[in-house]
Amino acid sequence: MNAHGSAHRHLIERIVDARRTAASLDIQGGGTKGFYGNARRGDLLDVRALAGITAYEPTELFVTALAGTPLVELERELASRGQCLPFEPPRFAPSGTVGGMVAAGLSGPARASTGPLRDYVLGATVLNGVGELLTFGGQVMKNVAGYDLSRVFAGSMGILGVICEVSFKVMPVLPATATLRFDIDDAGALLQLNRWGAEMPITASAWYRSELTVRLAGATAAVRVAQRRAGGRDLDPYAADSWWSDIRDHRHPFFAIGDAQLARGECLWRISVPATAPPLALAAEQFMEWHGAQRWLRSSEPAGQIRSAAAAVGGHATLVRAADKSSGAFDAISPALMNIHRRMKQSFDPAGIFNPGRLYAEL
């Protein structure tokens, strides 16, 4: 039996034993996203033994990797062929894994221009709650007909099963980039981004403390024309790469909320709203991304007030970092949608052993 077969067998044995003893399992790879979602519960189920890139066809624009593969290793291999995961998944630390990336479903600065992680999932192999190895989707788009169940695992927080292997669509790295900065308030930044709309090859934007930073990317000629039209101040390439990388991995000072601040009740919120929504009227320090569609808040305001403000402009709020998540990390959903979640959970994990409560308390 090869190393991967042995790792699968070990995971199956753990699942079967957990079901027999009514235990819970906390699925974990590199452990870099333990802060995300609701509190972790259960016995550790480490998937890092499932590591390695099992298929890569640059000409077909797909790659397949085992769940425990370090994300930095996958990105390094893609970069060697001039390709990338265009949604810029957050890594947070070098130990972050492919499986954790999919389970969390998070995308980075380029999300508004490229689409979310789930749009790039072509197929997946997972272990369900009775220890069966299931395969969904394929390795190329032509093999994926209708709604592919592999995409259900993107953002599932591990409540449905153990992600073992995933195939992704990859894209070439764009040939030219430029990062520009403008002095402007939040309302002005939103207006400017909406004016530019589809006219400018903007792949990322961020507003913080009266400065708007935008990244242009695409064909060299198109980027140069857009630079001249937009104006602003150019950032040198090294500073620009550091800026976007720090946002992607939450190394920017805005995201640095320490234990003492958390103990005093300060929280980090992610607010998802329509890009055209006005600035949120909240007592909070704010950081805007995705052309205005993602707004981060550092605030000590009550959770209900934050969620109400998001809902008032057609959005929703996620409590990302907090000392107390008793109000739930994610917004409540409708009874009809919760019923769908329950049925999906029952189908994949009938005994409820995987990551109980990480997504919603009821699951």
Look up the CATH number of the domain holding residue 258: 3.30.70
Whether 304 and 239 map to the same domain: the answer is no
Helices (H), 33-149: 71-79, 98-104, 111-114
What are the residues whose beta carbons fall under 8 Å from the beta carbon of 138, sequence distance 6 or more?
122, 123, 144, 167
Contact 177, 201 (CB under 8 A): no
Cα 136 from Cα 13, distance rounded (Å): 22
Contact 294, 288 (CB under 8 A): yes
Position 331 in a domain: no
> What is the per-residue pLDDT for 2?
58
Whether 19 and 166 map to the same domain: the answer is yes
Strands 162-169 and 62-66, sheet pairing = antiparallel
Whether 186 and 279 map to the same domain: the answer is no
Whether 190 and 290 map to the same domain: the answer is no
Q: Stretch 6-20: mean pLDDT, rounded?
A: 95
pLDDT in tens, 42-57: 999 999 999 999 999 9
Q: Which contacts of 235-243 are long-range, i.e. CB under 8 A and separated by 24 or more positions? A: 235/179, 235/180, 235/181, 237/177, 239/179, 240/177, 240/178, 240/179, 240/215, 243/179, 243/206, 243/213
Q: Which of 197, 219, 248 is the last residue of a domain?
A: 248
Whether 44 and 125 map to the same domain: the answer is yes
Contact 321, 281 (CB under 8 A): no
Whether 100 and 204 map to the same domain: the answer is no
Whether 75 and 184 map to the same domain: the answer is no
Look up the CATH number of the domain holding residue 48: 3.30.465.10
* Domains of the chain: total: 3
Under the banding of pLDDT at 50, 70 and 90, the label for residue 1 is: very low
Percent of the chain with pLDDT over 90: 92
List C-alpha distances in Å: 28 to 21, 129, 159.
20, 16, 12
Tokens linked to 288: 């805007």
Whether 28 and 101 map to the same domain: the answer is yes
Range of the domain at 309: 253-321
Under the banding of pLDDT at 50, 70 and 90, the label for residue 34 is: very high
Sign of the torsion formed by the C-alpha atoms of 82, 83, 87 and 92: negative
Whether 196 and 315 map to the same domain: the answer is no
Sign of the torsion formed by the C-alpha atoms of 259, 260, 264 and 267: negative
pLDDT in tens, 179-236: 999 999 999 999 999 999 878 999 999 999 999 999 999 999 999 999 999 999 999 9
